[in-house]
Amino acid sequence: MTASAQELSVFGIVAAILVWWALKLTRPLWLPSVTGWLLRHGRVKWAMRLRFGKRCH
């Protein structure tokens, strides 16, 4: 792998982590509208999974 390809991979990984952290930290802001949208479209399981994680039986 060339040095520039390595550099590109590194920036990709860092960008993905930053997006993950941004979503994690702003969860209370986007969660109600996203779960609402999923419920309106009949995706109950997805909505419950997103809201409660694996703890939802």
Partner 1 sequence: MSATDAPKMIALAGLPNCGKTSLFNALTGSRQKVANYPGVTVERKEGAIGLPDGRTLRVLDLPGTYSLDARTPDEAITRDVLLGKIQGEDPPVALVAVADATNLERNLGLVLELRDLNVPLVLALNMMDLARKRGLELDLVRLSVELGIPVVPTVAVKNLGLNELLAAVDEALRANPAAAPRTEWKRSDSASVRARFSEVDRVLKASTKKSGTPALWTERLDRIFLHPVLGFVVLASVLAFMFQAIFSWASIPQDWIEQGVAAFGSWVGSLLADGPLKSLLVDGVIAGVGSVLVFLPQILILFSFILVLEDSGYLARAAFIMDRVMGGVGLHGRAFIPLLSSFACAIPGILSTRTIANPRDRLATILVAPLTTCSARLPVYTLLVGAFIPDQPFFGPFRMQGAVLFGLYLAGTIAPLTMAWLFRRTILRGPKPPLLMELPTYKLPSLKGVLLGLIERAKIFLRRAGTVILSLSVLVWFLSSYPAPPATAPGPAEGGAPAIHYSYAGRLGHAVEPLLKPLGFDWRVGIALIPGFAAREVMVSALGTVYALEGDETQVEKALGERLAVSWSLATALSLIVWYIFAPQCLSTLAVVRRETNTWKWPLFLLGYMTALAYVASFATFHLVGWLWGSA
CB of 37 to partner 1, least distance (A): 18
CB of 48 to partner 1, least distance (A): 11
Interface with partner 1, residue 23, by CB under 8 A: no
Interface with partner 1, residue 9, by CB under 8 A: yes
Contact 13, 1 (CB under 8 A): no
Contact 35, 51 (CB under 8 A): yes
Binding site for partner 1 (CB under 8 A): 1-3, 5-7, 9-10, 13-14, 17-18, 20-21, 44, 56-57
